[in-house]
Amino acid sequence: MEFQYELTEEDVVAFNVYHVKNSNLGRKSLRWQRVVSPLLFLLFAVFLSVSTELETGPLFVVFGLTAILWAIYYPKYFYWHVTRQVRKALKEGKNDGLVGSHVLKMNKQGLTDISSNGESKMIREAVKQFKEDVGHFYLYNSAVSAVIIPKRDVDAEAFRKFVNKWLGH
């Protein structure tokens, strides 16, 4: 079976955000930063109240509100930061073969991804996971990388059925 699609920088960003949201490491990192930072704010308020003559009430109100706002809004900042870092990385170098036109050929032996950079082949058993989000399919070949297929360029239902059958699910 052969699928043609166009991969954009937005697709690469979407994969990275999806991966961070769904990986154990990404979730742990977010949870850690979302909880520990507010605790540090409150500990700093305790330190200031003990070491200075500032009133305790206003200190805890200010640092408590800061801690609450941090816990609420930090996830948006976290994913914005991931997006920004990926965009910066994409702008640093040539992305031939990553963004642009792709042809994905899948058969019993494996898959071949053909782009302007050449061909990339992998055996079927190298595909560790098949995941999807609202706009993309991801054929993971390692813990941190995947073949990204935008749903806008393929018949999503037919692709999903084909890959599940191809993988033996």
End-to-end C-alpha distance for the chain, whole angstroms: 17
* Whether residue 152 has pLDDT greater than 80: yes
Please name the residue that has the structure tokens 């999806």.
Answer: 18
Residue carrying the six token digits 């990404």:
26
pLDDT of residue 92: 86
Give the highest mean pLDDT range of 19-28, 95-104, 133-142: 133-142
Residues 28/123, Cβ–Cβ less than 8 Å: no
The pLDDT mean for the chain works out to 91
CB atoms within 10 A of CB 83: 16
Residues with Cβ within 8 Å of residue 140, at least 6 apart in sequence: 127, 128, 129, 130, 131, 146
Q: How confident is the model at residue 133 (pLDDT cuts 50, 70, 90)?
A: very high
Quick: pLDDT tens for 65-89: 999 999 999 999 999 999 999 999 8
Average pLDDT over residues 39-64: 86
**pTM score of the predicted model:** 0.82
pLDDT tens per residue, range 87-130: 998 888 777 778 999 999 999 999 999 998 899 999 999 999 99
